[in-house]
Structure 1
Amino acid sequence: MRRAGSDGGKVSPRRLPETVAVLEVRRAVRDWVGEYVSDAATGVAVALSGGADSLALTAAAVVEVGAVDALVVDHQLQAGSDVVAADAAATALALGCRSARVVAVDVAGEGGMEAAARRARYAALDEARAGLPVLLGHTLDDQAETVLLGLARGSGGRSIQGMAPWAEPWGRPLLGVRRVVTRQLCTDLDLTPHEDPHNAAPEFTRVRLRTEVLPLLEDVLGGGVAAALARTAEQLRADGAVLDALAGELLHTASDGETLSIETLATAPAALRRRAIRAWLLAGGAKALTGKHLHAVDELITAWRGQGGVAVGGGRSGSRLVAAREHGRLTLRLRSG
């Protein structure tokens, strides 16, 4: 980890012009801080990539919050990435951040480069944030892309709820701001965003959604598609919060501390039952749950034909985590093999 520099004292934020784009981004950050940050005096961290979205977020946060620590993750996937990261950190200090740190990570693991880079990035940010909330520069356009990806998975309403504005410690103040606005802010401030070549690489599904699918939908449906998708995600998150609370009550009623009552679950509405099952499986150590897993476990309750248990992932070496029906109870145990 490398600290790009700080004078150790209070840094005066850069004065921003009152353009339409600047005021919109500042308002979004101000509203987010007012709703989700109880003590803004302690400050926030901002994940700064050097791209337009995170630059705009950083500039606005310095003015609206004051105490901002910029965290720049160098994924080391391209030649010169260290220079890009150092430039981003220097820009953060010029904007008035109280500190800027570059964190280099190694990207490796399962699930492809995108997934591995994301895991490495979030782990590094979590370690470096020093207890502060971390603001991420996801915009309304990113939200629309996320909803479309969720639709493709076809795993129910939860998969198209998109990104939450606050999921501790991650904050997303710009979910109502279009990408074109953050770019305009950078122009207004004479900032030159870094253009990550991965953001234009057609081998990545999200890039094709951004450059091909969403523009086509906007054209065919007459515009407003990205905003409509984002509104849908927001409505589903609100509905989902209510359903999760009711499912929690069902889980409490059905549970004896370890197993679940088949009778109690079978008489509950399907939407609540499946949410309760999902929460119970995750609490028990299940990993990478899919709609197929949940459907199979649900059938142990509603379509019992003497079938065996359902492996739900999360086991250790030489064992599997299995949900099964035993003597009128739903059990979750490690089994060898």
Structure 2
Amino acid sequence: MAALAPPVAEVRSAVRRSLTGLPAGATVLVACSGGADSLALAAATAFVAPRLGLRPGLVSVDHGLQPGSAGRAAEVVKWAADAGLDPAQAVGVTVAGRPGGPEAAAREARYRALVECAREHRAVALLTGHTRDDQAETVLLALARGAGPRGLAGMPQRRELSGVPLLRPLLDVGREQTRAACAALGLTPWDDPHNTDPAYARARVRHDLLPELVRVLGRGVVTNLARTARLVAEDTAALDDLAAAALAAARVADGLAVAALTDLPPAVRTRVLHAWARELGASAAALSYRHVLALDALVTAWHGQGPVHLPGGLCVSRSAGRLTLAG
């Protein structure tokens, strides 16, 4: 019997680690565009899931942004069905008219469709093919945008997406390995032209910035950036736990007690204020660092200033040693 190609073994091992422990007989869905990363993931899931007592399925989202996109999605679904992935379906979405730029709009449409499919098939997990290289790109983009620790933490291995567990098994696997796995399995991936379009920031990072960093600093820079995301994520989780406890301790009937916030470390206090602003109804997307700093000034630099205006028409003021939502 021929030896298993190392890249195939690496991808399968990553999928096995991610799926181990899920309830036997349950369905897991792979989001697959037909690109090398998601195709390698789908092939590995088709092999690994049944051996863990799971039912593997696949969803290919057609964004309708390129000629022939519906045909490509149909080809992916046909391959999936032949490979033993069941259910296997293509889902069309409309990107135009959604908020944000084209990347954000496509992402929002894609994930909404994926969640709906996962619910339809009662899937216990939705798998995406993000790799170590994607994680490194995410960290670089977060740095460029001045993101805080939450942005530098990158993409988590697991998160809840509207109640559906989203798993990223390949965050410790490089893009070179997924391409090599496809080649070893005789699979021909599709290369999305958007991934090389300089109009998109991630494409510029992928094809210009990251290769230059590798040239100057060595191939290890990709692994190190991804490791940084993991370490920052661990620290962020610990700080979030401290902030949750501090928020509970600071609550009073109509707001937060300033005295309970004053001596907190800034990293904890700003998290408390951010979480509280979210509770009041401020949108996470619109709530900025500037808003949180203004709330923090009500605690640490109080000199009688007026209320802080938050997204959603909310106003927070300080009175009688408390932060309260203005009526």
Report if the CA contact (8 A) 1:254-1:260 is conserved: yes
Distance of 1:17 and 1:88 partners within structure 2: 27
> In percent, how many aligned pairs have the same letter?
47
Q: CA deviation at 1:16?
A: 10
Question: 2:140 is matched by which residue type in structure 1?
Answer: L
1:217 matched residue in structure 2? 213
Does structure 2 conserve the Cα–Cα contact (< 8 Å) formed by 1:53 and 1:139?
Answer: yes
Contact kept, 8 Å, 1:153 with 1:159, in 2: the verdict is no
Give the C-alpha shift of residue 276 in structure 1.
1.2
- Does the alignment pair 1:264 with 2:260? yes
Asked if residue 46 in structure 1 is aligned to residue 44 in structure 2, the reply is no
Measure, in 2, the Cα distance between the counterparts of 1:150 and 1:212. Answer: 16
* 1:135 corresponds to which of 110, 127, 134: 127
In the other structure, the counterpart of 1:11 is: none
Question: Judging changes above 3 Å, is the alpha-carbon distance between structure 1 residues 291 and 17 closer, same or farther for their aligned structure 2 residues?
Answer: farther
TM-score by length of 1: 0.89
Q: Which of 93, 96, 99 is the matching residue for 2:87?
A: 99
1:78 CA displacement: 1.2
Say yes or no: does 1:89 pair with 2:56: no
Q: 1:240 Cα deviation (Å)?
A: 1.1
Question: How big is the shift at 1:279?
Answer: 1.4
Displacement, 1:40?
A: 4.4
Shift of 1:154: 1.6
Q: Select 1:199's aligned residue among 182, 195, 199.
A: 195
Q: Give the one of 54, 61, 68 matched to 1:80.
A: 68
Aligned to 2:304: 306
User: Which residue number in structure 1 is paired with residue 15 of structure 2?
Assistant: 29
Instruction: State how far apart, in whole Å, the 2-side matches of 1:177 and 1:196 are.
Output: 20
Match of 1:116 in 2: 105
Q: Which residue of 2 aligns with 1:9?
A: none
Asked if the contact 1:33/1:40 (under 8 Å) is kept, the reply is no
Are 1:149 and 2:137 an aligned pair? no
Shift in CA distance, 293/44, structure 1 to aligned 2, threshold 3 Å? same
1:242 deviates by 1.1
Per the alignment, in what secondary structure is the counterpart of residue 109 of structure 1? coil
Distance 1:32 1:219, change over 3 A: same
Aligned residues: 313
CA contact (8 A) 1:71 1:100 kept: yes
Q: CA deviation at 1:290?
A: 1.8
Whether 2:295 is the aligned partner of 1:297: answer yes
Check conservation: 1:262, 1:328, Cα contact below 8 A. yes
Instruction: Work out whether 1:234 is the aligned partner of 2:230.
Output: yes
Q: Note the C-alpha offset of 1:299.
A: 1.0
**AA in 2 matched with 1:24:** E
Tell me the equivalent position of 2:43.
Answer: 59
Partner-residue secondary structure (3-state), 1:214: helix
Aligned to 2:323: 330
Amino acid at match of 1:30: R
Letter in 1 for 2:207: T
Aligned pair in 2 of structure 1 residues 146, 308: CA closer, same or farther (>3 Å)? same
Matched with 1:321 is 314
Question: Do the aligned partners of 1:25 and 1:56 also contact (CA within 8 Å) in 2?
Answer: yes
Which one of the candidate residues 107, 114, 130 is aligned to 1:125?
114
Structure 1 residue ranges, 4+ long, deviating more than 4 angstroms after superposition: none
Task: Return the offset for 1:22.
Answer: 0.3
- Is the Cα–Cα contact under 8 Å of residues 17 and 189 in structure 1 kept in the other structure? no
Q: Deviations over 1:134-186 (max 9, x none)?
A: 00100000000001111112232111000000002211000000001111111
Query: Which segments of 5 or more consecutive residues in structure 2 lack a partner in the other structure?
Result: none
The structural deviation recorded for 1:258 is: 4.7
Question: More deviation in 186-195 or 277-286?
Answer: 277-286
Q: What's the Cα RMSD here? A: 1.7
Q: Which moved more, 1:168-177 or 1:214-223?
A: 214-223
* Match in the other structure for 1:161: 153
Alignment check: 8 A CA contact 1:155 1:290 kept: no
Aligned to 2:25, what secondary structure does the other structure show? helix
What's the CA shift for 1:257? 5.5
- How far apart are residue 311 of structure 1 and its match? 2.5
Relative to structure 1, the CA distance from residue 271 to residue 136 in structure 2 (aligned partners, 3 Å threshold; closer, same or farther) is: same
**What TM-score, normalized by structure 2, do the two folds share?**
0.92
Q: In 2 relative to 1, CA 276–293 (structure 1 residues): closer, same or farther, beyond 3 Å?
A: same
Q: CA deviation at 1:329?
A: 1.4
Aligned to 1:12: none
Q: Residues 262 and 307 of structure 1: is their aligned pair in 2 closer, same or farther, counting only changes over 3 Å?
A: same
TM-superposed CA distance for 1:327, in Å, is 2.5
Q: Deviation of residue 17 (structure 1)?
A: 6.9
